[in-house]
Amino acid sequence: MNCKNCNNTLKASQKFCDECGAKIIQNRLKPQVLAQQVNEQFISIDNKFLRTFIDLFKQPETVIVGYINGTRKKYIDVLQYFAIALTLAGIQVFLLTTFFRDALDFTPEFAKAIENMPEKNINSMAGFNPDFFTKHQGLIYILGVPVSSLATWLVYFIIGDKRFNFTEHLVINLYYSAQIIIITAVFSILFLVIGMNYLIVSTILGLPTFIYLAYVLKKVFKEDFWNTVAKFLIVMVFYMVIYFILIIIAAIVLFFNGYFKI
């Protein structure tokens, strides 16, 4: 018998391949087999998803640094975890655009402010469509990871902390972003069910996401509170500068392609 993943020769009694680590599947694919796999991954009390989710709060350095150092079995793989987060974000967007469209409406105060603006300014905002950010939320999340990774890598590289390369900073930010996306999606759905405005929900969930990033950096780099705060603030500055540069580049490209005029 050979492993179906790497073709390594196996013994009949083996449950896992000693070459690639894959689980040996001998049963045909049936509904009960799929149910068992779902239970192992997501429902059972000892499942990887729940363990990864909890430990990214309790001890994020164990999950993240462990993955970087080669521990890949105890927790969900970083890309798989990010994919799960994007799936939940997709469900959130579907529910928001299908059943809770009223939650996207601007508040009366915002609408009144628009009415009192000069006609020129109103026209300049005519193309603004909040649905764009909602429908392309997944893409925005994906593009945000390399930006935040570049910001953290540059800051720690400049100050002389080179223990993690850029790819490893990608892992840090992928786990961080996935955790934030999951929390945001779940709480957004809960808040929408009770009738809260989406803009208010986004504001409520905004601040904790930045606090959590500082917490992750503190745990991963094992530094004291004030060193972490100082570097976190510099990371935020780099983050905004990188985004500003990207926005300028995008505006120039759109301008020369005739998408808008000054």
Question: What confidence score (pLDDT) does residue 197 get?
Answer: 66
Q: What is the mean pLDDT of residues 93-116?
A: 58
What DSSP character marks residue 12? T
Position 9 confidence tier, pLDDT thresholds 50, 70, 90: confident
Position 34 confidence tier, pLDDT thresholds 50, 70, 90: low
Question: What confidence score (pLDDT) does residue 207 get?
Answer: 75
Q: What is the pTM of this model?
A: 0.72
Q: What is the mean pLDDT of residues 96-110?
A: 59
Q: In this model, does residue 112 exceed pLDDT 80?
A: no
Candidate from 2-16, 46-60, 72-86 with smallest mean pLDDT: 2-16
Q: State which amino acid sits at residue 175.
A: Y
Q: In this model, does residue 126 exceed pLDDT 70?
A: no
Residue 124 to residue 243: CA distance in whole angstroms = 22
Q: In this model, does residue 53 exceed pLDDT 90?
A: yes
Q: What is the mean pLDDT of residues 95-122?
A: 54
> What pLDDT, in 10s, does the model give residues 203-215?
777 777 888 999 9
Question: What confidence score (pLDDT) does residue 47 get?
Answer: 76
Q: Are 180 and 167 in contact (CB under 8 A)?
A: no
Question: What confidence score (pLDDT) does residue 120 get?
Answer: 43
Comparing C-alpha atoms, which of 196, 198, 154 is closest to residue 173?
154
Position 110 confidence tier, pLDDT thresholds 50, 70, 90: very low
Q: State which amino acid sits at residue 21.
A: G
Residue 151, burial from CB neighbour count under 10 angstroms (0-12, 13-18, 19+): buried
Q: What is the mean pLDDT of residues 57-66?
A: 94
Q: What is the mean pLDDT of residues 232-261?
A: 83
> What pLDDT, in 10s, does the model give residues 173-210?
999 999 999 998 888 888 777 776 666 767 777 777 88
Comparing C-alpha atoms, which of 182, 171, 177 is closest to residue 144?
177
Residue 65 to residue 176: CA distance in whole angstroms = 12
Position 17 confidence tier, pLDDT thresholds 50, 70, 90: confident
Question: What confidence score (pLDDT) does residue 217 get?
Answer: 94
What is the Cα 63 distance to its own chain's centre? Answer: 15
Question: What confidence score (pLDDT) does residue 198 get?
Answer: 65
DSSP run (H or E) holding 259: none
Question: What confidence score (pLDDT) does residue 38 get?
Answer: 63
Instruction: Between 120 and 212, name the one with better pLDDT.
Output: 212
